[in-house]
Amino acid sequence: MAKKRPAKKSAKSSKKRTTVRQSPISDDFVSMDALYLAYRKAKVDVFYERSQPMVLAFCEYERELNDNLRTLQKRLTKSGADWYRDIDFIGSYGFIPKGLQVPADEGDSEAAHFSVSSPDDAWDLLVYSLEDDDNELKAEFRPVALFSVDMYVVCALWVNLVGHMFDACLDQSARGSRLRRLRRQSEDEGALGAFHITAPGSFQPYFHRYKEWREKGLRAIRHELDEGRKVVAITMDLKAFYHNVDPRFILHADFLKAIRFTGMNGRSLTAEELRFSKQVVEAFFTWAKSLPHLGDDDPPGLPVGPSAPRIIANVLLAEFDRSAQQSLDPIYYSRYVDDIFLVLHDNGKFRTSSQVLKHLCRRIKHLDANESYSELKLSLPYAEECRLLFQAKKQRIFLLSGEVGADLLDTIESQIDAVSSEWRLLPDLDSLEKSPAAKVLTANRNSHESVDTLRKADQLSLKRLSFSIMLSHYDTLAHDLPPTEWRKERKRFYRFVERHVLTPLRLMDLNDYLPRMLALAVSCKDWKIAERLTVRISRSLTLLDDAITIEPDTETEQQWEGYVRHLCTALREAVIRAFPLKGVGNSAEASATRLLERIDAMNGCSSGEMPEIGTLSKELFWTDLGRIPFKHALLHYIPLPDCSLHPWSGSLPDGEMERFHVIREFLESVENEGVKIRPLLFPTRPFTPREITEFDSRCAWDLHRLRRYVEALRGTWVKKPENASLTENGNSPP
């Protein structure tokens, strides 16, 4: 398919636009220290975001980091700044698949069950049946941001300077996309503690917060059932949440009053903070106008991927959180971004889903429903341009009581635990393909099939978790064992992937994990298999392209092309990041080049000039953007490869120079210490306290020394030791 540049749409002329004042922002507000902190945050945030294949861009930016950040400071603070209207400054977009919409089978309900074991035969049968029944196979896509590095830094800068105050207005019931915070030292710091501005990354880890959101709800249900009380368990989420938000609400005076901004932060926004926030919102509008599918009546939406939109989307529902907890008096209420988990006492009057939803609408402020109660709408007065709909197909309501309710809860938990418990197990080479994770992937071929759990969509989540767990096991083996020691087991895994993952019916559901899968083959030097997997991906894309209804020169075609382009970018980066650092020759470079050419061919474009993959892979390693963390070389897990860093010009600001001197002291026992400081200044996977003591054994008894190193290397604050017997000079105690 020919590569086209998506046509830009003009914004609806009748919509009220944000007017940005032209008063310049000061150098004191956007200082170099603030920009360096923002860069450190942005680098980690983007590195861990699967939808953002941007490591090559960050690597290039870091070659001239000081010059780039000074140029950014000048652009943000100059009189008449217009960066928020410049799409070249802001960046582009890609598309990720939401899913493949397979028409439901409306055949004879009395007919015998018919199943096809071969994924290829199942696909052929599906395509044949669609042609016979005159149905269509549709794919849904969601836009994601592919910003410039400058814009990612701007987003992190806004979070550091302004956004953390909005996050402070959320209570503990909001569990997703929460910022890292320090433990409270006094009552003056509020309920949450101060924003941890020097920590690596902006947000708390996803897995633990999501697990907490789910498990505390299930635990609350079980407790009530054990006490002999009936409960109503409700889960629901908002339709295309990010893409239906108008970010202008965050500047609305009524919104700031509703979330008690001044009371929670002890002050209101300054003129400079408000001006910078307006510019960021305007930049999101500029980005939204470039999307090919945005209609005149559609909200502009928020970019998926960067840090600032996550704060803005999360705080939009702060008043909903408070209203639901105060008016419903629930047994349990929690929200993970837009996923609501609610447990109520059964008052004996709930007999249908409509009665439950009517109860919610009567009690929760600003929540309304249509006549059939198939759709709930949240109409916030300060967010009139937002489209906040709780979709019926994602609403799950359970009336649970007695032992039967406890049995259903057991079924729900067992399906989750059978997969997630594998996080705690060491990989067994002989049983990985027969593990619960593998069974989840093989038991259910069609993406629209599901089981009766809390939110049936969790079956797809289980599939993704299952494949992620399998990949994690094999990544662990790749790290711990030489490739020659487990070649047969790897080949079995590759065959498993070809049978059950790289099929047209599964490819889009497991799209996020394809780069990791290819990276595993490259890191183990399985070049022929890597090519075979790439061919299989290309074949599945071709089959999907032929079967999905795509009209030429339409928004659907532009979204499909944006998806393929985004996937190819991620696959290219996976190959370069995973390219072996040692023990490779010209043949490996040639194999990797052929692999990149095959990936480029998927996107319908010629490869052009190929990079020196080995050199670029080493540079990614030395900027801690490679597949292997830089610290592994210092801990002697791997040999230290040749240095491939460009010399820096300019000097670091005072805040970074303090860290520089401490890190230099930490590396005093290593030769060429000046070269090795850079990757530790801006790490994506910094040393843990345990690894610091492993590297420098003196930290095991000198806690003052350990504290200094932890603060410099991780940005984490450690409470100062008060025991006077601890040594100050690093000498071992007697």
Interval 457-480: pLDDT, tens: 345 555 666 777 778 888 888 888
For residue 727, name the pLDDT band (cuts at 50, 70, 90). very low
d(CA 29, CA 35): 10
**What is the arithmetic mean of pLDDT over 45-63?**
95
Q: What is the pLDDT of residues 628-651, one digit of tens each?
A: 999 999 988 888 888 777 778 778
Residue 234 has phi, psi (to 5 degrees) of -130, 130
Q: What is the pLDDT of residues 336-374, one digit of tens each?
A: 999 899 999 998 888 888 899 999 999 999 999 888 777
Alpha-helical runs (H) found in 421-446 = 436-443
> Following CA atoms 58, 60, 61, 67 in sequence, which dihedral angle do they give, to the nearest 10 degrees?
160
- Which amino acid does the sequence have at 260? R
- Beta-strand pair 91-101/396-400: unpaired
d(CA 288, CA 282): 10
Q: What is the pLDDT of residues 88-140, one digit of tens each?
A: 999 999 999 988 877 766 555 566 767 777 777 788 888 877 776 667 788 88
The answer to whether 346 touches 399, Cβ cutoff 8 Å, is: yes
d(CA 491, CA 80): 60
Tell me how many degrees the CA angle 434-435-441 measures, rounded to the nearest 5: 85
d(CA 160, CA 432): 43
> Following CA atoms 207, 211, 214, 215 in sequence, which dihedral angle do they give, to the nearest 10 degrees?
180
Q: Give the N- to C-terminal CA distance of the chain in Å, as an integer.
A: 74
**Using the 8-state DSSP alphabet, how is residue 453 labeled?**
S
Question: DSSP 3-state assignment of 344?
Answer: strand
In percent, how much of the chain has pLDDT > 90? 51
Rounded to whole angstroms, what are the CA distances from 473 to 68, 429, 635? 39, 9, 22
d(CA 576, CA 180): 31
d(CA 252, CA 239): 23
Enumerate the β-bridge partners of residue 396.
235
- pLDDT exceeds 50 at position 274: yes
d(CA 530, CA 508): 19
**Tokens 């830009």 map to which residue?**
8
Q: What is the pLDDT of residues 281-315, one digit of tens each?
A: 999 999 999 998 777 788 999 999 999 999 999 99
Predicted local distance difference test score (pLDDT) of residue 725: 42
Q: What is the pLDDT of residues 158-191, one digit of tens each?
A: 999 999 999 999 999 999 899 999 876 655 555 6
Tell me how many degrees the CA angle 521-592-544 measures, rounded to the nearest 5: 70
d(CA 466, CA 432): 11
Predicted local distance difference test score (pLDDT) of residue 424: 40
The string of DSSP codes covering 473-528 is: HHHHHHHHS-GGGGHHHHHHHHHHHHHHTSSHHHHTTTGGGHHHHHHHHHHTT-HH
d(CA 722, CA 706): 14
- pLDDT exceeds 50 at position 570: yes
Q: What is the pLDDT of residues 74-87, one digit of tens each?
A: 999 999 899 999 99
Predicted local distance difference test score (pLDDT) of residue 678: 87
d(CA 636, CA 557): 49
Structure-block tokens of residue 365 = 């402020």
Most confident stretch, 205-219, 240-254, 501-515, 639-653? 240-254
Return the HEC string of 686-718: CCCHHHHHHHCHHHHCCHHHHHHHHHHHHCCCC
Question: DSSP 3-state assignment of 46?
Answer: helix
- Which amino acid does the sequence have at 162? V
For the chain, give the mean pLDDT.
Answer: 84
Question: DSSP 3-state assignment of 421?
Answer: helix
Structure-block tokens of residue 136 = 């269509």
Enumerate the β-bridge partners of residue 391.
375
The answer to whether 177 touches 318, Cβ cutoff 8 Å, is: no
Predicted local distance difference test score (pLDDT) of residue 7: 43
Question: DSSP 3-state assignment of 579?
Answer: coil
Strand order in the sheet with 367-369: 367-369, 375-378, 388-391
More confident residue, 424 or 41: 41
pTM: predicted TM-score of the whole model, two decimal places: 0.89
d(CA 43, CA 572): 19
**Number of C-beta neighbours around residue 667 at 10 A:** 19
Angle of the 55-63 helix axis to the 149-158 helix axis, nearest 10: 90
- pLDDT exceeds 60 at position 731: no
d(CA 720, CA 703): 8
